[in-house]
Amino acid sequence: MNPTPRNTGPRLGRRTFLTASAATGLALGLSTAPALAAGPASRGFRTALSVSPFTELVLGSVALTDGERTARTVEQVQRLFKAHGSTEVYARIATLRDAPSGEAQHGLARGLQRARLARTLDQPFNPEIGLFAVYGDISHQPEPDFSDYPGINPPAPWTSLTVDQMIPFLYRYGVAVALQILATGARVNVWNLGNEIELGLAGVAVRGLVTQTDRWTYSPPDAIDPAIGQMDFTTLIMMPEPDRIAWLEAHLWPHIGRMLAATAAGIRSVHPTARFSSHTSTIGSASTALPVAFWKAMRKAGYQVSEMGTSFYPTSNDYGDRMAAFKDAAATLHTTFGKRVFVAELGYPSSTMPPPYAWNSPLPGYPISPEGEHAFVRDLVAWGAGSGPLSGVRPWAPDFCISGWQPMSHFTASGSTATAQPVLDAISEGLAAAT
């Protein structure tokens, strides 16, 4: 999720949206890569409170405070989060060194800053290797741009290549980006690959809700399968779920799995004990059948993960018991694969959200209020931690309190200061209540 307005072309309603280098030799043998065992419960719950892609922007306007400590620098913000239970530092990393997207910054240079911050604070680093030039999510998945990597030179435009042609370059990129991150001295706990990837990855994607930005225009990957470019987001989402899964299994997921496996193999060549995860969107968390089918397809294609990730924004739609559906999906993934589920993006608003993310459909028992936000996060963690199916949660952009995303953040700004809301301690309280 990137909580910044984007050029989305024709507008679709919320209801429609939400229902609806020895590189080459190694990469070609990816399907034989052994699975990494899921971590035991003693590994610890990932309280992934972290500075976000927006922290520097926020600090240009306000200082963050919890009433006892005040944060005016990026390091101080992370120290504040650490005081409230944070266990890691996160960064979303695009292929370009400088990758501004609206109000966010996803470039490699910023990611390396976050890695050095993690080393300074003696916290693990969790990089999300996006495999896009600047930014992508469930709405669109642009291709990578390797122009900042002189040794990675695809012979033709990326989306004109076959997957067999892409694999060596993805492997080399995995090697190169891992070397740079590890050179900071950071300890990487989990390498997350992609962002909300069930409908595409790295340019191999259906026509999304976004088909053009200032720096990118959708190009169908016809050399892989012409059916991909002929399918659009809305048509696919509106299909009956069995038909949607069948289409994805036939046309898209096998290719995504191979691409992820290639990138993971490159990273593993320089970090042999690397653990991996990826995450699907909040749409994918609304059922059991789709995420189970997705992860089976990834495993079949050779991509092995330690944790299965998802976004979860339950107020983004008003269909059924969204909490029960999420719990069922997480528990089923855990029992089916023997791996825990990481909530890679989590948000519940404390007040009414404005467009373009007017996600204001409360869950029963959890009003859209500071108290409802706090109770939702606390209760989710209390259910999922301990012997439950969750390995951790990441509140998305908890410091981004100076925009329309403020209701999802953990702070409320007034003048030059932003004060913490009760939700800042909700994960710690949930862990205390977990069994």
Give me the average pLDDT of each 10-residue run along the chain (435 residues).
46 32 32 31 78 98 98 98 98 96 94 98 98 97 97 97 98 98 98 98 97 95 98 97 98 98 98 98 92 98 98 93 95 98 98 94 97 98 97 98 97 97 98 93
Q: Where are the alpha helices (DSSP H) in 53-162?
A: 55-59, 74-83, 108-121
- Tell which residue, 192, 51, 197, has the closest CA to residue 127: 192
Cα(310)–Cα(341) distance, rounded to whole angstroms?
Answer: 8
Rounded to 5 degrees, what are φ and ψ at 191? -95, 115
Classify each residue of 229-252 as buried b or exposed e, where b means 16 or more C-beta atoms within 10 Å of its C-beta: bebebbebbebeeeebbebbeebb
Structure-block tokens of residue 1: 């999720």
CB 229 within 8 A of CB 171: no
Cα(7)–Cα(68) distance, rounded to whole angstroms?
Answer: 41
Q: What is the pLDDT of residue 381?
A: 98
Angle (CA) 413-98-280 rounded to 5° is: 70
Cα(248)–Cα(262) distance, rounded to whole angstroms?
Answer: 20
Beta-carbon contacts of residue 201 (< 8 Å; ≥ 6 apart): 131, 141, 194, 256, 259, 260
CB 109 within 8 A of CB 178: no
- Tell which residue, 177, 175, 89, has the closest CA to residue 130: 177
End-to-end CA distance of the chain: 31
Rounded to 5 degrees, what are φ and ψ at 38? -65, 145
Q: What is the pairing mode between strands 417-420 and 411-414?
A: antiparallel
Cα(121)–Cα(111) distance, rounded to whole angstroms?
Answer: 15
- Residue 356: asked if its preceding bond is cis (omega within 30°), the reply is yes
pTM of the model: 0.90
- Tell which residue, 203, 365, 156, 390, has the closest CA to residue 279: 390
Q: What is the pLDDT of residue 20?
A: 32
> Count of CB atoms within 10 A of residue 426's CB?
26
The upper half-sphere exposure of residue 366, i.e. CA atoms within 13 Å in the direction of its Cβ, equals: 22
* 3-class secondary-structure state, position 380: helix
